[in-house]
Amino acid sequence: MKHRHVISLVIYFFFTVGILALVRVVVFEIKTGDICPKVLNIPICFPILSFFIIALISHITNKATYLYFICLGLAFLVALTASILHLTGHFTCPLTILKGVPKCYYAVGLLSGLIILKAIQFKEIEKDLA
């Protein structure tokens, strides 16, 4: 039980980091209009922020776990695609200020962590119910 609580706290921490980073990107996108790539003239950072918020609500309410995985899975695919395109030179991810590392790399790691931790937590919950 204690293990599950620690996992949940780490998930909350990852969500906090991710949502704060996304809010900052969305604010810059609103101010400048050229930070996020656009799909059908919609900056991709807007739906990604929505995916994070929906997944967080799913985690908080502990309901609709499938929605958690769908939302974060879609966000992961976008981050992974951006990372691959950045590596191949077809797209440039925004860089971090301090180290100059592409932010899409961090997004892949963060989203991987959220998905893996929730899968572990979900398996532990199912094991307790059995």
Single out the residue of 21, 42, 31, 30 nearest to residue 93, CA to CA. Answer: 21
Is residue 79 within 8 Å of 104, Cβ to Cβ? yes
Reduce the secondary structure of the chain to three states and give it as a string. CHHHHHHHHHHHHHHHHHHHHHHHHHHHHHHHCCCCCEECCEECHHHHHHHHHHHHHHHHHCCCHHHHHHHHHHHHHHHHHHHHHHHHCCCCCCECCCCCCEHHHHHHHHHHHHHHHHHHHHHHHHHHHC
* Percentage, residues of the chain above pLDDT 70: 94
* pTM of the model as a whole: 0.86
For position 125, what pLDDT does the model report? Answer: 64
Predicted confidence (pLDDT) per residue in 59-104, tens digit: 999 888 889 999 999 999 999 998 999 889 887 787 777 778 888 8
